[in-house]
Every structure is written in C-alpha cells, then in structure tokens.
Amino acid sequence: MAVMKATTGRRKSSVRHYDSVSSRVFDVVNVLILLSLAAITLLPLLYVLAGSFASEGEIDSRPFFLWPENFVTNAYDYMFAGDTFIRALLTTIIVTLVGTVIQVALTLTMAYPLSKRHLPGRVFVINLVLFTLVFSGGMIPTYLVVRELGLLDSYWALILPLAINPFYLLIVKAFFQEMPEALEEAARIDGCNEIGVFWRIVLPLSKPVIATFSLFYAVAIWNDYMSPLLYINDEEKWTLQVLVRQITAPNADTANMLGTQSDAFFPEQGLKFAVIVLATVPILLVYPFLQKHFAKGVLIGSVKE
C-alpha cells in the first residue's frame, strides 16, 4: 500500500508539474514561435501558388494576396504550349532518378567496407574522406577535370562530380558499424559471401538510411543550378532549374524561351510564378512516400548504445 501511495503521489506531482503556469506559458510561447516560423515559410509559397492562377492585372494591382479573385490557367496553358518546359522537366526527372540511384549505390558500397575495422588501409581512406570534407579542389579545377574527361554537355557531368557526399558517407558508415556482427556471422555460417551478406542482410536492414539519403541526394540533384550552368552549353539539355533562372531573370524573353507566341494576353508575371510552382511541387511530392523511413533515418548515428 505504501508503495502504491508513493507511486500515486509521484504521478500527481508530475501532473502538477506539467500543468503549472510556467509550463503552460512555455507551451503557448513555443507554439506561437513555431506558428510564426511556419507562416514565414508558407506565406511566400502560397503567394506564388495564388499568383500562378491570377491574371496579369491582378498581379500588378495587388501587392500581396493568398487567393486570386478570378482563377485563370493562362500561365500553365502557355507553359505547356511549347516543348521547352516539358523537355527540361523530363531531363531533370531522369537526371535526378539516375543520379540518386548511382550516388546512393556508391555511398553504400563504399561505406560498408569502411565500417569493418579489420579492413587494411581503412584509416587512411577515412582520412582521405575527411580531407575532402574540409577541402575541395574548387570550381575551376573541377571544371578542368570534367572537360578533360569529355563530360561537357553530358548529363554525366551533373552526376559523377558529386557522386559521393563525404558527410553522408561517414554517417552511413556509422550506421553500418552499429549493426550487430552476429547477423553477419550467421549469414556467413549459412554460406553467404561478403556480397551476399551485404545484399541479403545489410541492405534489407538499411531501409531508413537508404530512404533518408535517397531523399537528400534527390533534392540536391533536383535543386542543382551551378552544375548545369557550368557544364551544359546546349539549351536543349537545360535542366529545370536553369530554365527557371532564365525565365525569372529581369527582361527575359520568356515567350521565345518557351517556344510560344507572345500576344496581348501573354501572362509574363504569371509564368514566373507558374514555373516556380512546377519546379517545386514534384520534389515535395516525394517526401510523403519516404516519411515512414525518414523520421527514423534522421537519427542515424546520433545515439550510441
């Protein structure tokens, strides 16, 4: 009975602690701060979305709005009238998919052997990775390497120079090191070689890390502007981000760039909003499919048992 009373007393005191005035004030302030940050993030996006469905006159007359007076789709009609935007969108999707697969595969296959403490030369290779994490060759040397490899005006120039992120590599290596060695030993006893252990045991248990860094790599490739600007000279090979920059630039010849005809109803400002929306929404739609693994994957390597 005494133990029960003591336990009940601790629970009541704990409840009183979390229901105190200071705790409630903290919760209210915390919620207000988070709502303010969310508003700062979302309001510009909502304004751009609303502007893409507004008329040119409304965009010029109303400095800020979240709901257009009249919904029009002129901007999107002009956007899809030519083949320039569709080509840039398909190019970006293909480069993102292929690049993500290659970069994740290279990161996993390099991180797994480096996670084995008995690997000869392991410390030396890790030190090289750490060196590239702090120092880089720079823009001009990287451009010269890409040019000498014959990758200019090639989509491989958007994938291979940034194929492995050293920071991601170290995190994945730490994840592999936390795996119980007994699982791998059991697989070897059953006849698996190192490739079989990696493919049948390690990878199925690595879904959180694969999902997390697939998302990181995909977002980085999708948003990459400098690489296609430096390495792609052919306008027909432009990615979506370069096209967005050209359309939203001051005094841009948007109609000619999109391969459409400019007339009195040409939505110049609406097109700028629409291309931003179309360049943002596809990568945002990827997150819900990876959310289940992403929530767990972001904590990889943060807790040591």
125 pLDDT more than 50: yes
For 229-237, what is the mean pLDDT? 88
Name the range with the highest mean pLDDT among 23-27, 183-187, 189-193: 23-27
Q: Which band of pLDDT confidence, cut at 50, 70 and 90, is reported for residue 191?
A: confident
Q: Where are the beta strands (DSSP E) in the chain?
A: none
**pLDDT for residue 263:** 58
Contact status, residue 232 vs residue 146, Cβ threshold 8 Å: no
Query: Which tens digit of pLDDT belongs to each residue from 24-70?
Result: 888 899 999 999 998 898 898 899 998 888 888 888 888 888 888 88
179 or 265: which leads in pLDDT: 179
Residues 144 and 254 in one domain: yes
pTM of the model: 0.80
Q: Which band of pLDDT confidence, cut at 50, 70 and 90, is reported for residue 169?
A: very high
Query: Mean pLDDT in the chain?
Result: 83
11 or 212: which leads in pLDDT: 212
Tally the domains of the chain.
2
Q: Does 230 fall in a domain?
A: yes
**pLDDT for residue 82:** 77
Residues 90 and 135 in one domain: yes
14 pLDDT more than 50: no
Residues 264 and 217 in one domain: yes
99 pLDDT more than 90: yes
Q: Does 169 fall in a domain?
A: yes
Residues 79 and 24 in one domain: no
For 156-167, what is the mean pLDDT? 91
3 or 148: which leads in pLDDT: 148
For 124-149, what is the mean pLDDT? 89
**pLDDT for residue 252:** 66
Out of 48, 72, 96, a domain closes at: 72
| CATH (domain of 220) | 1.10.3720.10
Residues 60 and 80 in one domain: no
> In 10 A of CB 294, how many CB atoms?
18
* Angstrom distance (rounded) from CA 80 to CA 260: 9
3 pLDDT more than 50: no
Residues 36 and 119 in one domain: no
Residues 117 and 236 in one domain: yes
**pLDDT for residue 179:** 84
Residues 158 and 286 in one domain: yes
Residues 176 and 39 in one domain: no
Out of 34, 49, 72, a domain closes at: 72
Q: Does 12 fall in a domain?
A: no
Give the CA distances from residue 293 to residues 183, 200, 281, 300, in Å, rounded to whole numbers and listed in that order. 21, 19, 21, 11
Write out the residue range of the structural domain in which residue 49 sits. Answer: 2-6+17-72
Q: Does 105 fall in a domain?
A: yes
Out of 72, 91, 118, a domain closes at: 72
**pLDDT for residue 6:** 47
15 pLDDT more than 50: no
Query: Which tens digit of pLDDT belongs to each residue from 239-283?
Result: 999 888 888 877 766 666 666 665 555 677 888 888 889 888 888
What's the token pair of residue 188? 């070897």
Residues 214 and 181 in one domain: yes
**pLDDT for residue 76:** 87
Residues 64 and 116 in one domain: no
Q: Does 202 fall in a domain?
A: yes
> CB-based contacts of 261: which residues, under 8 Å, 6+ apart?
255
